[in-house]
A and B are shown apart, each in its own frame.
Chain A
Amino acid sequence: MPDIRESIQIDAPAARVSALVSSGEGFSKWWAEDVVLHPEAVDLGFFNRATVYCVQLVRSAPSETEWFCKSGEEWEGTRLRFILNETKGQTLLRFTHAGWKADTDYFVSCNTTWGALMFRLKAVAEGKPTVPLFSKIGWAL
């Protein structure tokens, strides 16, 4: 089963990065503006809710957060893993979107999108001005 792998160095402590990847409120700062919070789960809406991903929090520890994807034709059953390694106030974030059934066109598109998302996450963690990559209706500028 193919996985998407990302890695990025962030000039911020792990606790700040962890807060951004372990809650819907965190996701709304760099990923999607349209988030609905449920206990232990989050709905993320894209393109006027043409796509909605429901992700459930599996575990959240200071150095590792994992979400289980409950919806989405190709996302259902996949997992989002954020692993953080802090050294001298800097954090190496390793991200895996694991358990895809196949290496499809959508898999490749999502690989590209996750790359851009890593840089939005980095900017927020580093306190630089940015907005989430997806507004309620489409791509943010």
Chain B
Amino acid sequence: MADLKHQIPIGSTPEKVYGALTTQTALRAWWTADAKIDEKVGGNAEFGFDRRATVFRMKIEKLEPGKRVVWSCHGDNPEWTGTTLTWDIAPQGKMTMLRFTHSNWKAVTELYAICNSSWGELMHRLRDHVEDKNPGPHWKE
């Protein structure tokens, strides 16, 4: 099993970072314009990329306001199925540290490395969104 780990300091509050991960409007502003989520524990979330050439289907497992968000992935990509995405939010001085782990990959593959790069880019877009710099989503359709 392999994990992807990321972290980034964000010049904002834990509540605002939490908001960027838990509302459909925010997820559409930094990740993909094609995001649909049921904003509650047990709700489903769908993220489409490149006109739905790829769709990631998640279930929202945990929502701890200002602290933690956990999603489980159920498809469609076979390498993503069975993985868990955990977002941990904590104040750090005047900033907020966001830590992200995409865990339970079955193997270190090409897609694993490609996703690692994409998550790095996405963490920066998420930060810029929370800091009101309007980066726009990485995937526009």
List chain A positions with a Cβ less than 8 A from chain B.
Answer: 5-9, 94, 105, 108-109, 111-119, 141
Evaluate whether A108 and B7 lie within 8 angstroms (CB atoms) in the complex, with A5-B108, A94-B113 already known.
yes
Q: Which residues of chain B from 102 to 136 have a CB within 8 Å of any chain A CB?
A: 108, 110, 112-114, 116-124, 128, 133
Q: Which residues of B contact A112 (CB under 8 A)?
A: 6-8, 119-120, 123-124
Q: Which residues of A contact B5 (CB under 8 A)?
A: 108, 111
Q: Which residues of chain B from 1 to 57 have a CB within 8 Å of any chain A CB?
A: 5-8
Q: Which residues of A contact B113 (CB under 8 A)?
A: 5-7, 94
Q: Which residues of B contact A115 (CB under 8 A)?
A: 6, 116-124
| A55 shortest CB reach to chain B, Å | 20
Residue with the highest number of chain A CB atoms closer than 10 Å, among B99, B110, B116: B116
Q: How large is the interface on B (under 10, 10 to 19, 20 to 34, 35 or more residues)?
A: 20 to 34
Q: How far is the CA of A117 from the CA of B112 in the complex (A)?
A: 17
Who on chain A is nearest to B124 by CB?
A116
Q: How far is the CA of A105 from the CA of B7 in the complex (A)?
A: 8
Evaluate whether A6 and B116 lie within 8 angstroms (CB atoms) in the complex, with A105-B7, A109-B8, A111-B5 already known.
yes
Evaluate whether A109 and B7 lie within 8 angstroms (CB atoms) in the complex, with A7-B113, A8-B117, A94-B113 already known.
yes
| A107 shortest CB reach to chain B, Å | 9
Evaluate whether A5 and B116 lie within 8 angstroms (CB atoms) in the complex, with A116-B121, A119-B121 already known.
yes
| B85 shortest CB reach to chain A, Å | 15
Q: How far is the CA of A115 from the CA of B119 in the complex (A)?
A: 7
Q: Which residues of chain B from 52 to 100 have a CB within 8 Å of any chain A CB?
A: 99
Q: Which residues of B contact A108 (CB under 8 A)?
A: 5-7, 99
Q: How far is the CA of A7 from the CA of B120 in the complex (A)?
A: 11
Q: How far is the CA of A9 from the CA of B50 in the complex (A)?
A: 15
Q: How far is the CA of A89 from the CA of B124 in the complex (A)?
A: 29
Q: How far is the CA of A9 from the CA of B123 in the complex (A)?
A: 19
Who on chain B is nearest to A4 by CB?
B116
Q: Which residues of A contact B117 (CB under 8 A)?
A: 6-8, 114-115, 118-119
Closest 8 CB pairs of A and B: A115-B120, A7-B113, A112-B6, A116-B124, A6-B117, A115-B117, A118-B117, A119-B121
Q: Which residues of B contact A5 (CB under 8 A)?
A: 108, 112-113, 116
Given contacts A108-B5, A112-B7, 8 further A-B contacts (CB under 8 A): A6-B116, A6-B117, A7-B114, A8-B117, A94-B113, A111-B120, A114-B117, A141-B133
